[in-house]
Structure 1
Amino acid sequence: EAVRSGRLGRLHTVRAVTSDQAPPPAAWLPVSGGLFRDALIHDFDVLRWVTGREVADVYAAGSDAGPAMFRAAGDVDTAAAVLTLDDGTLATATATRLNGAGYDVRMELAGELDQIVVGLDDRTPIASTEPTGPPAADKPWTGFLERFGPAYEAELIAFVDVVRGGRPNPCDGREALQALRIAEACEVSRRERRAVSLAEIPAAPEAR
């Protein structure tokens, strides 16, 4: 509402953060799809939904300097992407599997008139070094199941309603496909160390 009503003015910068407190089991990594497809794909999805814009191109990088299991799986434990939206808005999305302070998911949106943050509360695992800044959280979030419990409940209720024919699907596969295309573009960019246009990523599987 803040973005689309014009309250923020022209949106120029979006910053998305996703940080797991502890990494998943080593056996999960080879089948997870990688950090972009498994974790940051949710940030790409919400970025499109909140801004109402499409991603035009990406430049992404990743680091596997943490535990050896990430290198063994061909994955990274930390990643960052710069995304240019089709109206020129710039977005950054970062993720890590190794945020010992706690589970952290936030999005900052900055416009010419105002700036807001989503996901910042008294359990966000971050502390300010300023004398008047907020202290460290007494009980930081530990994982996505705890952080998003009410959202999962709402999703299950909506799913049952859709299956029963009580409502149309509010987020069909086309939305998921667009988020996956962004994740694929980021993975290509990471591997090939170059900017990747979303036009390079097929919108649907090619006929064989």
Structure 2
Amino acid sequence: MRIGLAGVGRIGAFHAETLLGLDFVDELVVTDADPGAGREVANRLGAEWSPDVDALLASGVDGFVIAAATPAHATLLRQGIAAGVPTFCEKPVAATLAETIDLAKLAASTDVPVHVGFQRRFDRGYQRLAQAVQGGELGFVHSIRAATHDQSPPPAAYVPTSGGIFRDCNVHDFDILRFVTGREVVSVQATGANKGEPFFGEAGDVDTAAAVLTLDDDTLALVSATRYNGAGHDVRMEAHGSEGAMAVGLDDSLAFRSAEEGVAFPHGPQHRSFMERFLPAYRAELTAFAEVARGDRATPCSVEDALQAFRVAEACELSRHEGRPVRLEEIETL
């Protein structure tokens, strides 16, 4: 297959290398708003360079991968759909709720496949947990704990365009919560705080956040995030039920050390980034996109799925700012 890629920043260059390591990719064409950066990555990886997105989409690509900066996602997704090219878009598909809704309507009105990049859906641990939860293996699940704790903060320039910690970071937890449970969130209560660099507060954001979510079957989910988890990159989910409990991320890479005497677990090494933590999932995700582009499977994560996760993040931001519980029915949807 001939795959086009827009954006060669941190995640874009990572996707480019991943794509070139997959058997189904015969040719990779890249473009970037910064021609110098784009050409450097193309030359380093042996990919083809395209001067702009229009030229890339007109060059006979079988699939289009969007890994540019968040503000460009909506425009690029519209271009991919207009060109009739199966499109993969990193989350979020847009920076605002209104535009996400518009894109969900657009995607629903076309036959062009769109796959949104929530890679945790392709992690074997989360898939196993979904099987256990939805198959009744744990009895009735009464509570879930989900965490996304980054080892170190992003650059200061990234924060004002990130959408805030709930939209940028916890949105992965909100999506995988829907995937694992098969349920919807009906209300949230969220808060946040800053104890690190002042640029978070200056951007109206927080460096640490927490929320209690109530699902439509009265399951309670406790979700947390921080930009300062010095022990390592820590992404986990625990499901607690009447007949048992199960966790994702409970292995030797766990970014913890025990206070109990004589306990050596976990042995390490710890993960340092989300790319390291989820490399197998990213490979599986892009392989799934190839199957979508070939027409061999339905989209495993739609724009509407992205919208529902975004709505939860929107509700959490509203709750944090107003200091009150927020019901999801207050947040606009399709």
2:221 partner amino acid:
A
- Counterpart check, 1:196 vs 2:326: yes
With the length of structure 2 as denominator, give the TM-score of the two structures. Answer: 0.59
RMSD value, Cα? 1.2
What one-letter code is carried by the residue in structure 1 that aligns with 2:254? T
The whole-number CA distance in structure 2 between the counterparts of 1:137 and 1:58 is 36
After superposition, residues 11-22 of structure 1 pair within 5 angstroms as 11-22=141-152
Q: Secondary structure at the match of 2:177?
A: helix
Rg larger for: 2
SS of equivalent to 1:3: helix
1:181 aligns with 2:311: yes
Q: 1:18 to 1:88 in 2, by over 3 A?
A: same
Structure 2 contact 254–268 (Cα < 8 Å) conserved: no
TM-score scaled to structure 1, two decimals? 0.94
Shift of 1:84: 0.5
* Distance across 2 between alignment mates of 1:125 and 1:165: 40
Q: Give how far 1:120 is off.
A: 1.1
Residues 103, 143 of structure 1: 8 Å contact kept: yes
What is the aligned length? Answer: 204
For 1:36 and 1:167, locate their aligned partners in 2 and report how far apart those are by CA, in whole Å.
31
SS in 2 for 1:2: helix
Q: Which residue of 2 aligns with 1:172?
A: 302
For residue 206 of structure 2, what is the aligned residue in structure 1? 76
Deviation at 1:136, TM superposition (A): 5.0
Runs of 4+ in 1 over 4 A off after TM superposition: none
- Per-residue deviation at 1:72? 1.2
More helix by share: 2
SS at match of 2:133: coil
Superposition pairs of residues 1-208 of structure 1, within 5 angstroms = 1-204=131-334
Tell me if structure 1 keeps the 8 A contact 2:142–2:241.
yes
Give me the whole-angstrom Cα distance separating, in 2, the residues matched to 1:156 and 1:38: 21
* Alpha-carbon distance in structure 2 between the residues aligned to 1:25 and 1:119: 26
Residues 164, 70 of structure 1: alpha-carbon distance in 2 compared, 3 angstrom cutoff:
same
Task: Specify which structure has the bigger relative contact order, considering alpha-carbon pairs within 8 angstroms and separated by 6 or more residues.
Answer: 1
